């Protein structure tokens, strides 16, 4: 007969085996001279217990501002600093170099968490990435992406001025029912996982929060962040739209908010 003590030991052993097989995930935050916005963002993470799912939580404070440091300390983040603004691309690389996790999300300081169903949005999508169904997964909320959302209120040609390289804007704000039926050559719907899939040829590169496998990002994007420093995003876009990376979209958990509310 198994007594309660032996049962607890058995459960602990099973948990240890499962945890060894569970991929690790890191949260990296990039900020520059916006301590109030940063505080508002991190507060949304803490209130929803978002920090608890991550194995590593780090922040890069550009220009090493004391006010931003005090905010980061309040939320128990591991702090890194630079003496000047190095830009988003080099900043991303800096953070990736510090992380050791299998997966990561890099958030700029103005993306609020608005959906507390983040376990499913993240860990289910890790499994989908591991299954090679998609290469990465965007985490900006489709229905309430926030502002500014430059492509969200425009429509795909011939109905408007949204170019093919940014056709992913169809999924935001002005979302249409069954978009995969209207644009079958551009948008696919994976019904089993309830995600939309688009090629990078039609889903523009973005610095909005995206779930990446660390090795995939280093193999495909890392080197382009080194070119022209602060212009790295434009450099990656030129390469991105010539590839056929599989980009996943779902409900999303973040909205853009660069103002104090």
Which is it for strands 103-108 and 56-62: parallel, antiparallel or unpaired? unpaired
Q: In this structure, are 216 and 158 located in the same domain?
A: no
Q: What is the span of the domain harbouring residue 76?
A: 22-113+208-240
The answer to whether the Cα torsion of 7, 13, 16, 17 is positive or negative is negative
Per the domain annotation, does 28 fall within a domain?
A: yes
Cβ proximity of 150 and 228 under 8 Å = no
- List beta partners, residue 112: 255
Q: In this structure, are 120 and 157 located in the same domain?
A: yes
Cβ proximity of 180 and 187 under 8 Å = yes
Per the domain annotation, does 235 fall within a domain?
A: yes
Q: In this structure, are 134 and 225 located in the same domain?
A: no
Per the domain annotation, does 16 fall within a domain?
A: no
In a structure prediction context, what are the per-residue pLDDT tens digits for the chain, which is 261 residues long?
Answer: 445 555 454 444 444 434 557 899 999 999 999 999 999 999 999 999 999 999 999 999 999 899 999 999 999 999 999 999 888 889 999 999 999 999 999 999 999 999 889 999 999 999 999 999 999 999 999 888 998 877 666 666 666 666 788 889 888 876 677 889 888 999 999 999 999 999 999 999 998 999 999 999 999 999 988 876 556 677 888 899 999 999 999 999 999 999 998
pLDDT at 5: 53
Read off the DSSP letter of residue 24. Answer: P
Q: Specify the number of domains making up the chain.
A: 2
pLDDT at 148: 81
Structure tokens at 223: 């080197």
DSSP state string for 38-54: HHHHHHHHHHTTGGGG-
Q: pTM (2 decimals)? A: 0.89
Q: In this structure, are 57 and 184 located in the same domain?
A: no
Structure tokens at 70: 């005090």
Per the domain annotation, does 103 fall within a domain?
A: yes
């Amino acid at each position: 007969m198994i007594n309660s003590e032996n049962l607890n030991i058995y459960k602990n052993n099973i948990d240890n085996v499962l945890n060894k097989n569970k991929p690790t995930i890191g949260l990296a935050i990039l900020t520059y001279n916006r301590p109030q916005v940063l505080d508002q963002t991190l507060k949304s993470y803490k209130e929803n217990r978002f920090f608890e799912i991550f194995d590593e939580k780090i922040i890069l404070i550009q220009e090493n501002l004391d006010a931003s440091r005090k905010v980061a300390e309040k939320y128990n983040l591991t702090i890194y600093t630079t003496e000047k603004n190095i830009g988003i691309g080099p900043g991303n690389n800096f953070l990736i170099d510090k992380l050791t996790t299998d997966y990561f999300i890099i958030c700029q300081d103005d993306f609020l968490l608005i959906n507390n169903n983040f376990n499913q949005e993240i860990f289910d999508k890790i499994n989908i990435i591991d299954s090679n169904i998609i290469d990465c997964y965007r985490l900006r909320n489709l229905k309430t992406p926030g502002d500014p959302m430059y492509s969200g209120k425009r429509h795909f040609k011939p109905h408007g001025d949204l170019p093919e390289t940014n056709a992913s804007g169809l999924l935001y704000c002005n979302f249409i029912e069954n978009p995969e039926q209207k644009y079958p050559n551009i948008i696919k719907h994976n019904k089993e996982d309830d995600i939309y899939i688009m090629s990078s040829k039609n889903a523009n590169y973005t610095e909005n929060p995206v779930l990446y496998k660390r090795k995939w990002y280093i193999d495909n994007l890392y080197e382009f962040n080194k070119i022209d420093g602060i212009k790295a995003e434009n450099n990656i876009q030129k390469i991105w739209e010539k590839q056929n990376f599989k980009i996943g979209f779902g409900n999303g958990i973040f909205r853009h908010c660069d103002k104090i509310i």
